[in-house]
C-alpha cells in the first residue's frame, strides 16, 4: 500500500507500507524531514533514504504508536475488539493520535487532516471504553468503534479516551486488581497545584463501579508531545548524571525558559509521592507543529506508580525507596540531591494534604475495599516523605 506520512497537512515522505505487518518496506521520497517525528531525524541520510536504520526506525516508530504488548489484560482487550494483534488497530484510523499530528494518508487521496483529526472531530469511544475498562464485556462488532485515538495509547494500564462536553479526557484504571494508581494521580495533581508546578489535572471518576483517574488532553491540534526518550536519541549516552545535565542544556539551548527548575519540580514531586516509574517516555517537551519551535517542558503527568508499599506489619512499612533518573535506578534520597535550590519550595503549602488524602481514600472505600489499616499506612508514608523534605529544606545551606 502506497502511503504518505503526514504532519497535519505537510507531506513528510512517501513510502510503501505493508498493512499485514505494519512495516514500511520501501521509501520512495522524503519531502520534508524537518517535519518528521523527532526521533527519526538522527537516522536520516539524505542520499540514502532506504538506508536500513532509517527505514527500520520508521517502522518501529509507527508500531510504537500502537497499544503495547505489556498492556494489562491485553489478551482480553484484543478478544473483545475481535482482533489478533494491537498493530491491527493502526490501520483503522490512519494512525492518528491525541499526542501529535502524524498520520498515514493513502497515496493520491484527497483527504485532509482537518477532516479526520480527533482534536476537532468526534469519535466513537463507548465500545472501546467498555472493552478496555469493564470487568464483564462481550466482543464488539461495530467497525466505527475502532475509529478512535484509543488505537494509539501507550502504557501498561487499561485506559480509554472519551469526549465529555467537547473536551478530550483520558480515563485510566488501576493495575490488575488494585486501584491505587488513580488515587496516586489525583494526589500528585493536588501536590502540584499547591506547590505551583505545571501539571496535568487529574480527578477521580468511576466507570461501572471501577475507580479511574480522569485527565484532559494536554496537547492541541497545533502542538505535539516529544518524549525525553526521543530527545536523548540524538545525544551521547553516559549512563550517569551527565545525561541529566546534557538534557537540561538541550532544553535551554532550544529556548525553553527555566528548564532546570521545571524538570526539578518533577523530581521533587517524585520524591514526595515516591514515584518509581519516571521513565523516559512520560516526560519531555511541547513543540509547535507549525513552526517546530520548542515551547515548554511538558506538564507533569503519569504519576500512578507511587506510594508502593511492598508489605507492612504492625511495626513498620516496608518500601523499595528507589526511583528512576534517566537510565539509572537510584534511591530517592540521592535523586533529590539534584535540586539546586530546594529552599524555593514553600513546603507549608502541603499542610493538611495528608488528611486530605486520607479523606479521599475513605470516600471510595466501598469500591476499593481498602482496609482502614492500609489507608493509614499510605498516609503515614506520605507524611514521612513530606517531613523528610521539610528537613532537607531547613538544613540546606
Does the residue 124 lie in any domain?
no
Does the residue 209 lie in any domain?
no
Q: What residue numbers bound the domain in which 249 lies?
A: 223-395
- pLDDT of amino acid 136: 72
By the 8 A CB rule, do 113 and 8 touch?
yes
Integer Cα distance of 150 and 219 in angstroms:
15
Does the residue 163 lie in any domain?
no
Note every long-range contact of 13-16, with CB atoms under 8 Å and residues 24 or more positions apart, other chains counting. Answer: 13/49, 13/58, 14/107, 15/58
- pLDDT of amino acid 270: 98
| CATH code for position 287 | 1.10.1070.20
Does the residue 89 lie in any domain?
no
Does the residue 147 lie in any domain?
no
Percent of the chain with pLDDT over 70: 94
Does the residue 165 lie in any domain?
no
How many domains, the chain? 1
Mean of the per-residue pLDDT values of the chain? 92
The answer, yes or no, to whether residue 291 has pLDDT greater than 70, is yes
Does the residue 50 lie in any domain?
no
By the 8 A CB rule, do 188 and 269 touch?
yes
With cut-offs at 50, 70 and 90, classify the pLDDT of residue 233: confident
Does the residue 285 lie in any domain?
yes
Amino acid at each position: 500500500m502506497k502511503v504518505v506520512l503526514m504532519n497535519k497537512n505537510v507531506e513528510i515522505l512517501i513510502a510503501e507500507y505493508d498493512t499485514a505487518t505494519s512495516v514500511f518496506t520501501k521509501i520512495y521520497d522524503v519531502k520534508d524531514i524537518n517535519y518528521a517525528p523527532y526521533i527519526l531525524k538522527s537516522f536520516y541520510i539524505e542520499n540514502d533514504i532506504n538506508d536500513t536504520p532509517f527505514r527500520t526506525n520508521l517502522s518501529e516508530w509507527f508500531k510504537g504508536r500502537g497499544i503495547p504488548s505489556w498492556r494489562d489484560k491485553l489478551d482480553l482487550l484484543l478478544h473483545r475488539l475481535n482482533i489478533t494483534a494491537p498493530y491491527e488497530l493502526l490501520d483503522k484510523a490512519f494512525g492518528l493520535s491525541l499526542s501529535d499530528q502524524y498520520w498515514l494518508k493513502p497515496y493520491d487521496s484527497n483527504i485532509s487532516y482537518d477532516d479526520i483529526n480527533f482534536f476537532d472531530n468526534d469519535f466513537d469511544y463507548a465500545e472501546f471504553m467498555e472493552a478496555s475498562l469493564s470487568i464483564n464485556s462481550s466482543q464488539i462488532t461495530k467497525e466505527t468503534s475502532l475509529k478512535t485515538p484509543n488505537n494509539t495509547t501507550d502504557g501498561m494500564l487499561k485506559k480509554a479516551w472519551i469526549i465529555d462536553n467537547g473536551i478530550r479526557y483520558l480515563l485510566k484504571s488501576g493495575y490488575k486488581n488494585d486501584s491505587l494508581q488513580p488515587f496516586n494521580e489525583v494526589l500528585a495533581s493536588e501536590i502540584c497545584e499547591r506547590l505551583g508546578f505545571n501539571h496535568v489535572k487529574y480527578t477521580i471518576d468511576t466507570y461501572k463501579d471501577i475507580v479511574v483517574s480522569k485527565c484532559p488532553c494536554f496537547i492541541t491540534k497545533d502542538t505535539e508531545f516529544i518524549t525525553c526518550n526521543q530527545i536523548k536519541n540524538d545525544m551521547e549516552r553516559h549512563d550517569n548524571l551527565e545525561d541529566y545535565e546534557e538534557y537540561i542544556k538541550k532544553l535551554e539551548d532550544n529556548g525553553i525558559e527555566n528548564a532546570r527548575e521545571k524538570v526539578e519540580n518533577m523530581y521533587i514531586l517524585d520524591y514526595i509521592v515516591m514515584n518509581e516509574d519516571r521513565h523516559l517516555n512520560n516526560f519531555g517537551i511541547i513543540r509547535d507543529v507549525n513552526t517546530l519551535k520548542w515551547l515548554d517542558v511538558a506538564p507533569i503527568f503519569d504519576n500512578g506508580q507511587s506510594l508502593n508499599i511492598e508489605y507492612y506489619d504492625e511495626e513498620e512499612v516496608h518500601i523499595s525507596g528507589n526511583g528512576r533518573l534517566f537510565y539509572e535506578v537510584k534511591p530517592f534520597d540521592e535523586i533529590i540531591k539534584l535540586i539546586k535550590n530546594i529552599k524555593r519550595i514553600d513546603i507549608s503549602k502541603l499542610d493538611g494534604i495528608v488528611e486530605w488524602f486520607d479523606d479521599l481514600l475513605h470516600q471510595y472505600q466501598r469500591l476499593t475495599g481498602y482496609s482502614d489499616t492500609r489507608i493509614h499506612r499510605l498516609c503515614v508514608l506520605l507524611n514521612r516523605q513530606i517531613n523528610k523534605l521539610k528537613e532537607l529544606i531547613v538544613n540546606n545551606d
